[in-house]
Chain A
């Protein structure tokens, strides 16, 4: 059964991946992705992530259900943080387990594309000069069209 955690606490992406991998039975492939706060412009201190409690869980569960119906998946994991996250810290991770790697890779990419623009999270960049909301990118919306 897919697992979902929405939390403020930092998590250990490597440890989570090991636990996820060890809990599988009969799966030939595990794929994982971790997103990390990156200072693109120089001067970023942290990200403030706001979310919509309730809808966040519903939206991600529906994305997970869609992934399970489209690919031959044994399991999936989504962890997404909210609150204040410093540069270099993990924001989120996705892991998929499948009998074959192609399903695991495709489902992980599908989950990431949908989490970016269909899960109700909003990022604000905090710098010494102030804070500003991150604008959604057209290419993130376009990425959904391939599915």
Chain B
């Protein structure tokens, strides 16, 4: 399947792009993270501490064990600092 993968804040800076289209068979967010980490050092570095990474699937905050069936958009970002 094809997924739009988005990165924000320091994840965007470490990976070097804000958005990309990824062809994947990952079943969960964790599977997708493993695939991305295996690609290149900059991904491996960005995802080295998952405790400081949050994920949204189709713009809803979720967990790393969330399934990706029917997902169109996955976003990775640090804990939010709004307000």
- Give the interface of A toward B (CB within 8 A): 35, 50, 52, 54-55, 58-59, 80, 91-92, 112, 115-124, 133-136, 140-141
Give every chain B residue within 8 A of A135 (Cβ-Cβ): 79, 81
Min CB distance A23 to B, Å, is 24
B59→A122 contact, CB < 8 A = no
Q: How many residues of B contact A (CB 8 A)?
A: 17
Contact present for A122 and B83 (CB under 8 Å): no
Q: Is B3 an interface residue (CB 8 A)?
A: no
Interface centre among B9, B61, B82 (most CB of A within 10 A): B82
B77 in the interface (beta carbon within 8 A): yes
Report the number of A-B residue pairs with Cβ-Cβ less than 8 Å. 72
B83 in contact with A136 (CB, 8 Å): no
A55-B75, A133-B9 given as contacts; is B81 within 8 A of A121 (CB)?
yes
B77–A122 contact, CB under 8 A?
Answer: yes
Asked if B61 and A124 sit within 8 Å, CB to CB, the answer is: no
For A116, give its contact among B12, B61, B75, B83 (CB under 8 Å).
B83
| Chain B residues within 8 Å of A35, by CB | 83
Known: A122-B81, A135-B81, A136-B80. 10 other contacts (CB 8 A): A116-B80, A116-B82, A117-B79, A118-B82, A119-B80, A120-B75, A121-B80, A122-B8, A122-B80, A135-B79
17 contacts between A and B (CB under 8 A): A35-B83, A52-B6, A52-B59, A52-B75, A54-B59, A55-B59, A58-B60, A91-B83, A117-B79, A118-B80, A118-B82, A119-B80, A120-B8, A121-B80, A136-B78, A136-B80, A140-B81
